[in-house]
Chains A and B, each alone.
Chain A
Amino acid sequence: MALLSKKDANLIKDPLADNNPITIQVLGICSALAITAELKASVVMAISVLFVLGVGNVVISLLRNIIPAKIRIIVQLVVVAALVIIVDQVLKAFAYDLSKTLSVFIGLIITNCIIMGRFEAFALGNGPWKSFLDGIGNALGYGVILVIVGFFRELLGSGTLFGMKVLGDPIAKTGLYSIGYENNGFMIIPPAALIVVGIIIWVQRSRNRALIEEA
């Protein structure tokens, strides 16, 4: 018997592609776009969301029979806010520069629609183990898009990956730059993230035509 039944495995697999939180469910876009100019920030953001969503889904799922329906939003917000404070304090302690780059966007995980969306749609109606898998799956789906966008923006915009100069040195004119390649400064500015995500959606929906929206 496998570790995960087929149904459980689908909880993780679906959000990675055909039910991706960003490109299909349209959740959690706010933070996804603002911090993807560098790959490192994208990875840290993805890990933070993975932690908050995984743990938060379990907590809400355990509390689901105790929370009165009328005040559930406030309860959910308090749970997320407590988890986000943990992430924020850990980042401030161990990666201060990075927490400066991410600035308010760590705080904005609280209102990240993915988290509230999964709490409402899944954790309130399912057991802890399933909710955990659902949380991990959705956070991974979110992280995948973040890393793809961060990869292209850093590579094309600064010619680096994780701060390493992979395309050669633009000032010393080595590597690609020696044959006249230039960095595309356009990729660094915020709106470029939107266009990159738009193109990802385009590619995904061309490959899987069932996802195309009726206009």
Chain B
Amino acid sequence: MLEHLELFFRSIFVDNMVFAVFLGMCSYLAVSKKVSTAVGLGAAVIFVLGVTVPLNWLLDQYLLQEGALVWLGPEYADYDLGFLSFILFIATIATMVQLVEIVVEKFSPSLYNSLGIFLPLIAVNCAILGGSLFMQAREIPNIGLALNYGISSGIGWFLAILAIAAIREKIRYSNVPAPLRGLGITFIITGLMGIGFQSFGGMLTGDNEPPEEAQTTTVETKEDKEIKKEIEDKEKAISYNEAINK
């Protein structure tokens, strides 16, 4: 339960799709002129991420990882189809988006009318593929967490596009320097919001670190060691130089 809660807050605030890793920036910039359209796209992203991340998790677990094919029989244990993950993930996403579009059109025409034009756009939204690729890179351990990860990173993206759309609606009344109008000021505002979101980084540094974090911490300590070694080397070099100067 605790790890679910932690992953949820981490994906929304600390590793926010837009502010920390810049995923889905293209549609974020293009569709954020009005709050109402931003809400439509945001909702569609949450939905599609929530469907595709668990699906791709299953694909990754039972088809792509090294030794994942072992359920077919022991002689398949050595296969590693990892290099196929890009093409399988994007195919899953493209088909799911198409499928979702057909289903929504059939059963909820009103939702289709509000989401309609955004659904095809989503197939090429980097946030969707990025969600699956990060899910793979972070080795999320079970399908519940994968579902959680998909939905919560979708919510993070939703919050980001909602915030920027609201700001852009207001900024129309301000006197922005002409060359910065439109795209330029949006970039800079996003940067400032990103700096704000950086402050969430300290939120989840408690004792109960899940295994996925343990990995990153070991990487950090390795880097730390290298830095320490560099500093030591430099100090040695300095003292050596001083000795020579004397």
Contacts and interface: CB of A to CB of B under 8 A. Distances in A.
A194 B183 contact: no
A81 B185 CA distance: 33
Contacts of B19: 190-191
A28 B26 contact: yes
Contacts of B184: 198, 201-202, 205
Contact of A191 (B183, B195, B238): B195
B244 interface: no
Contacts of A43: none
Range class of the B interface residue count: 35 or more
Nearest to A27: B26
A213 interface: yes
Contacts of B90: 77-78, 81, 110-111
A176 interface: no
B185 A73 contact: no
Contact of B124 (A103, A116, A193): A116
B192 interface: yes
A107 B13 CA distance: 24
B183 A172 contact: no
Contacts of B186: 198
A166 interface: no
A111 B125 contact: yes
Contacts of A28: 26
Interface string B154-170: 00000000000000000
A215 interface: yes
Given A26-B183, A201-B187, A33 B22 contact: yes
B24 interface: yes
B191 A192 contact: yes
B231 interface: yes
Interface of A: 23, 26-31, 33-34, 73-74, 77-78, 81-82, 84-85, 88-89, 103-104, 107-108, 110-113, 116, 169, 171-172, 189-195, 197-199, 201-206, 209, 212-215
